[in-house]
Structure 1
């Protein structure tokens, strides 16, 4: 396979998307009326709007980028070997994370709820043996253990295996013709057509199967995230689509902002205008929501391709740091929050200190992890760092994508 210039924009978008995830989870401590493992006394209702602006597309973007990884990894690798490689890379950090990294989260949540006794050592022994726990002690109490924010990994593993099973059909003559039709989407079709399946899942499944991130029976999540993962794989095959996304970046941004505005206004005030039981209102609100979801992602991809496709000096380090930081950040953040919230640091000082502490904790931990060969695979990294002299080519990007 000939060397292809590395897609720095996808690397950068992945780093920025996971960085945004840290800020989002920090904000969950402070947004009013939204449940989370721990809540500050300094909650604010206004945070709901920027949070809504992000949460309608942030995870969908991550699944799309992860779908790109399968395309880049495919190359000449056999499907069984690729399936095994992805299983190790996703499931080993998941199991280690659930056993070692995540437990501090249910512990502080249980303490906050008054349903877990102080003493982390005793809690950990009980956690490792599956409980049992008092009802609602922490999210996932009924299972004895929890994966909390690491739910992304088993979902990604499942979609990867399903896609690998479909690849022979997708790589057949009929599959190539279908992909060619998709790669031919231009202009208005590229803005609207990908949003239609997302809207269908919202209408058919969202109310019947609310998102719980339990993997089993989570049909709306699977339909939505699986579709975005598949979109990512298709984007990886179509270089012409990237040029069109870049060309349309102003249009997609405009449509995204307009559809988000329609969604917010109708969701908040539409019931007074059309009646809360109006089926027409519900359909319009959902259409605006899923059009916003897709066009926001299309705008991010288009602007990223136009602005970020160059070898930033910080990118190689950040690309390696993403996976360990993802695994660590919420546990570090919640431990710090539990310790700092009683100190009365104020509505500005408290989140600022927690953010700085979370970044510092992840950075120091990553420095230890990246220098320890046996720790590296437990956090999704190769057992040994790659030599600096290795050329940066497109297929290697996939090895860095969770």
Structure 2
């Protein structure tokens, strides 16, 4: 069965992971970095954090949305058993490998930087996201089966009509407002290994799947009303930042988060749904880079921070070193050593006969490469 390639969704994943790296680097220059086990620069920068206060309310939820969309594509050619096997290979294996072998490495760097006794302990670190996604897949298996059997055809038809207008999309916020009122996260962006992070991720994951299930209805709506969503997001951010000092009422922040995300979906659908050689490469590299970026970031900070450079210069330098280091590890180590590839979510072998064909490769192949 021929399936449509959605280049904009590929770009969304690449851009979201790139922003995640930049966000993590910015933490190094905040006075509270050490309290969340990040290396901290003596030269801090509140100015550097200002744009991050806009980014941090949607940077993780949008990845959960995209993950739900990826499951939709994967199910186009798989049954539930095949999906579970594929997600075990692609998500659970890298998660477990990272848990015991990768995340302890950047903690070694942290301990060494602060002259602490070196100790090993397995932990999720930034890979908590993968653990959540795998659990969401397990929870969703009965729902996916029902959708394949047509059990939920009427609710999906109702959602299709609902998502055909912006007010219908705004109704999605009811679930996200209920989530924050229930779990009361302090701050809103405290996603890692919290019930708030688990719940908001679960909502975004399943709505991402449902948005794809409506065909082009959702995408046409966000494309048509992208400026409305962007304007609302900007207003809510201004209210949150100016009046409340970056941490506003949770119900407003939930609406702001989805407004940013819906506007981004709309702009990407209109302007980025086109083939690109850069995208063909980056879409495969993004996942391994996400897995390894923390150890590269910590090593870069370990050697650059002692130079006591101005914060913005050090930030730029650590950013360059982190991105270049991740590229080199991916291109010349992870990508080329067969035994490492599955530990980073890639297939065992590269079929050199199957070169990137920009108009042929489908999204499920990208998400499972």
Give me the TM-score of the superposition, normalised by structure 1: 0.83
Q: How does 1:160-175 map to 2 (within 5 A)?
A: 160-175=137-152
Deviations 1:289-348 (A, max 9, x none): 111011100001000000000001201110111111111111111012112211233323
Q: Does 1:260 align with 2:237?
A: yes
The residue that corresponds to 1:149 in the other structure is 126
**Which stretch of the first structure deviates more once superposed, 383-392 or 325-334?**
383-392
Deviations 1:247-266 (A, max 9, x none): 11111111111111122233
Distance in 2 separating the partners of 1:306 and 1:32: 40
- Residues 179 and 352 of structure 1: CA distance in aligned 2, closer, same or farther (over 3 Å): same
Larger Cα Rg: Structure 1 or Structure 2? Answer: 1
Q: Does 1:302 align with 2:279?
A: no
Distance in 1 separating the partners of 2:184 and 2:261: 20
The residue that corresponds to 1:8 in the other structure is 7
Deviations 1:192-240 (A, max 9, x none): 21111111110111249995734xxx43222111000001101111221
Q: Does 1:176 align with 2:175?
A: no
In the alignment, structure 1 segments of 5+ residues that lack a partner are 118-122, 128-143, 271-281
The residue that corresponds to 1:375 in the other structure is 340
Deviations 1:43-90 (A, max 9, x none): 122333211101100100001000001111112422112112101211
Distance in 2 separating the partners of 1:245 and 1:395: 23
Deviations 1:134-177 (A, max 9, x none): xxxxxxxxxx3222111111111111111123223344545111
The residue that corresponds to 1:392 in the other structure is 361
How far is the alpha carbon of 1:191 from its aligned partner?
Answer: 4.2
8 Å contact from structure 2 (residues 29, 43) kept in 1: yes
Deviations 1:347-384 (A, max 9, x none): 23322221121112111111122122211111111112
The residue that corresponds to 1:245 in the other structure is 222
Distance in 2 separating the partners of 1:389 and 1:14: 18
The residue that corresponds to 1:332 in the other structure is 296
The residue that corresponds to 2:39 in the other structure is 38
Distance in 2 separating the partners of 1:46 and 1:13: 26
Give me the TM-score of the superposition, normalised by structure 2: 0.90
The residue that corresponds to 2:256 in the other structure is 292
Deviations 1:262-283 (A, max 9, x none): 222332399xxxxxxxxxxx7x
The residue that corresponds to 1:347 in the other structure is 311
In structure 2, which of residues 305, 310, 324 is the aligned counterpart of residue 360 of structure 1?
324
In structure 1, which of residues 188, 206, 210 is the aligned counterpart of residue 184 of structure 2?
206
Question: What SS is found at the alignment partner of 1:102?
Answer: helix
The residue that corresponds to 2:112 in the other structure is 111
Aligned-pair Cα RMSD in Å:
2.3
The residue that corresponds to 1:62 in the other structure is 63
Distance in 2 separating the partners of 1:104 and 1:373: 22
Distance in 2 separating the partners of 1:207 and 1:363: 35
Q: How does 1:50-129 map to 2 (within 5 A)?
A: 50-117=51-118, 123=119, 127=120
